[in-house]
């Protein structure tokens, strides 16, 4: 079986009319959530740096930038992908370990606006982009994830196929787009050691590279036709174990976008299980630093690999520190957009408590990953009491879902820097996206 051909055949054939109403409604929420993250991230220092570079590089005014103005479609995909990933509130899929919105949607938006396509076109492309990158991510996870950032690597395929759909590529051209997306797929986890800005480059470049692959395919630029399963392809080169069946099992009979999760804490998703549980402790007891003897967090291996850091020295590193997030949650009762700041980073009580947080792998929890992103917490108090809590699904997973009303409220909170009128208009536009004839209308809201 030619895997790229199967994905291309599915993607080329799917129409908006075949999407069930619940898929359309859910996809609009994913797009709204993306807009919130991109708007919230647009004024951050790393994004301003990318914005300056985009301006210096120049480009035809094809698509809007979340930092203002327009540039070429590929530049817009780069900047808008980066902007949506920096505040750590973008969506996540458990099985593939991918933040799909931050790579698929900016590539799709750039093409849809440039080509003056409809809201229905955009929705369909986003559904397809999520489907393809989720399947590829599931095929290589979790072994791929130790060195490689799935959003950057697998996400490039999703961006490519979403853009290819909007560009109305043929099945063969879609295969070429996937091939050249895969050969550009990259993104290493080493940035975590330094708390570096690289993670924003991952999402921006995945969106940009996917779009580039689709644009070249449209011109007849060929790509490897077996980029996934080939002897020197993605699977063998970038994962110790992979499951080819994940690519086609149920393809066309289900919509994997419905498996997507939303984030309510502004940190790495692998910290959310503990944050949820320790916020519960805060609400029930509000223990002081002096009352807490120790906190033990047990989870799955990937969570420990990515977030075991008992001395974060930047705000961004704090978002990837299970110790810091645990201390923040139990002492402050929240870990939202405005909680990760210099004041809390160097707060004396948080710094003292994070040294009392011990993290380790639980074999049973690890065995259930990535289907479940679970954790247990054990809080030992000075009076001899021990508080124990356990979770299999962080808040925002389909099994522990947020409501559409909560996602609208999340959007409102993330977009404090824009007027109430503009917020309300963006919400109305996206929640009625299927009625918009030209996505240029939607994108002018962010200018």
SS3 content of the chain, % helix, strand, coil (to 5): 60, 10, 35
pLDDT tops 70 at residue 215: yes
Considering only CA atoms, which of 291, 321, 294 is closest in space to residue 306? 321
Same domain, 150 and 198: yes
Report pLDDT for 333. Answer: 97
Dump the DSSP string for 94-161. TTTTB--HHHHHHHHHHHHHHTT--HHHHHHHHHHHHHHHHHHHHHHTTGGGGTB-HHHHHHHHHHHH
Within a domain: 397: no
Within a domain: 396: no
Q: What domain count does the chain have?
A: 2
Same domain, 319 and 235: no
CATH of the domain at 189: 1.10.4100.10
Condensed to tens digits (0 to 9), the pLDDT of residues 51-103 reads 999 999 999 999 999 999 999 999 999 999 999 999 999 999 999 999 999 99
Report pLDDT for 446. Answer: 78
Within a domain: 135: yes
Same domain, 259 and 286: no
Condensed to tens digits (0 to 9), the pLDDT of residues 388-435 reads 999 999 999 999 999 999 999 999 999 998 999 999 999 999 999 999
The pLDDT mean for the chain works out to 97
Within a domain: 106: yes
Condensed to tens digits (0 to 9), the pLDDT of residues 319-359 reads 999 999 999 999 999 999 999 999 999 999 999 999 999 99
Q: Region 289-293: what's the mean pLDDT?
A: 97
Confidence band of 445 (pLDDT split at 50, 70, 90): confident
Same domain, 363 and 426: no
Within a domain: 398: no
Q: Final residue of a domain: which of 391, 412, 435?
A: 391
Report pLDDT for 447. Answer: 67
Beta-carbon count within 10 A of 289 CB: 14
Same domain, 99 and 41: yes
Within a domain: 49: yes
Same domain, 252 and 282: no
Confidence band of 439 (pLDDT split at 50, 70, 90): very high
Same domain, 366 and 426: no
Same domain, 363 and 442: no
Q: Region 216-238: what's the mean pLDDT?
A: 98
Q: Final residue of a domain: which of 347, 364, 391?
A: 391
Same domain, 259 and 156: yes
Same domain, 367 and 412: no
CATH of the domain at 364: 3.30.1330.120
Q: Region 212-237: what's the mean pLDDT?
A: 98
Considering only CA atoms, which of 268, 374, 369 is closest in space to residue 328? 268
Confidence band of 1 (pLDDT split at 50, 70, 90): confident
Within a domain: 73: yes
Condensed to tens digits (0 to 9), the pLDDT of residues 148-167 reads 999 999 999 999 999 999 99
Report pLDDT for 400. Answer: 97
pLDDT tops 90 at residue 193: no
Q: Region 23-37: what's the mean pLDDT?
A: 98
Q: Where are the beta strands (DSSP E) in 202-246?
A: none
Q: Which long-range contacts (CB under 8 A, 24 or more apart) does 12-20 make?
A: 12/165, 12/169, 12/170, 12/171, 12/174, 14/124, 14/127, 14/128, 14/165, 14/252, 15/124, 16/120, 16/121, 16/123, 16/124, 16/434, 19/123, 19/124, 19/127, 19/255, 20/255
Same domain, 353 and 431: no
Report pLDDT for 417. Answer: 87
Report pLDDT for 195. Answer: 85
Same domain, 281 and 381: yes
For the entire predicted model, the pTM comes to 0.96
Confidence band of 111 (pLDDT split at 50, 70, 90): very high
Q: 365 is in which domain, residue-wise?
A: 269-391
Q: CB neighbours of 338 closer than 8 A, spacing ≥ 6? A: none
Within a domain: 399: no
């Amino acid at each position: 079986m030619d895997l790229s051909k199967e994905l291309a055949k599915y993607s080329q054939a799917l129409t908006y009319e075949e999407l069930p109403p619940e898929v359309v409604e859910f996809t609009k929420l994913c797009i709204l959530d993306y807009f919130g993250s991109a708007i919230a991230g647009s004024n951050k220092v790393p994004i301003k740096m990318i914005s300056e570079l985009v301006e210096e590089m120049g480009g035809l005014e094809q698509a809007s930038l979340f930092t203002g103005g327009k540039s070429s479609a590929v530049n817009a995909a780069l900047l808008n992908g980066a902007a949506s990933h920096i505040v750590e509130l973008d969506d996540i899929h458990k099985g593939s370990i991918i933040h799909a919105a931050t790579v698929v949607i900016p590539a799709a938006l750039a093409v849809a606006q440039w080509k003056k396509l409809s809201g229905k076109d955009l929705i369909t492309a986003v559904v397809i982009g999520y489907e393809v990158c989720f399947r590829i991510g599931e095929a290589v996870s979790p072994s791929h994830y130790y060195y490689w950032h799935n959003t950057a690597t697998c996400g490039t395929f999703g961006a490519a196929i979403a853009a290819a759909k909007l560009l109305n590529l043929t099945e063969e051209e879609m295969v070429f787009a996937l091939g050249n997306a895969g050969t550009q797929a990259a993104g290493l986890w080493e940035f975590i050691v330094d708390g570096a800005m690289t993670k924003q480059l991952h999402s921006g470049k995945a969106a940009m590279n996917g779009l580039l692959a689709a644009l070249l395919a449209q011109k007849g630029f060929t790509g490897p036709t077996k980029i996934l399963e080939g002897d020197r392809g993605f699977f063998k080169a970038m994962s110790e174990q992979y499951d080819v069946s994940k690519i086609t099992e149920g393809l066309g009979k289900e919509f994997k976008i419905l498996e997507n999760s939303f984030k309510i804490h502004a940190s790495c998703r692998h910290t959310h299980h503990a944050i949820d549980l320790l916020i519960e402790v805060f609400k029930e007891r509000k223990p002081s630093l002096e009352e807490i003897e120790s906190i033990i967090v047990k989870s799955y291996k990937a969570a420990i690999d990515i977030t075991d850091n008992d001395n974060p020295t930047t705000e961004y590193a704090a978002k990837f520190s299970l110790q810091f997030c645990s201390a923040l949650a139990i002492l402050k009762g929240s870990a939202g957009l405005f909680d990760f700041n210099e004041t809390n980073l160097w707060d004396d009580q948080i710094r003292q408590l994070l040294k009392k947080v011990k993290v380790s792998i639980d074999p049973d929890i690890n065995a259930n990953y990535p289907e479940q992103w679970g954790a247990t917490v054990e809080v030992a108090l000075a009076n001899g009491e021990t508080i124990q809590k356990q979770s299999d699904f962080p808040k925002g997973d389909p099994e522990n879902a947020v409501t559409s009303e909560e996602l609208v409220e999340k959007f409102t909170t993330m977009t404090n820097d824009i007027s109430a009128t503009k917020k309300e208009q963006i919400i109305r536009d996206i929640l009625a996206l299927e009625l918009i004839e030209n996505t240029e209308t939607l994108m002018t809201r962010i200018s």
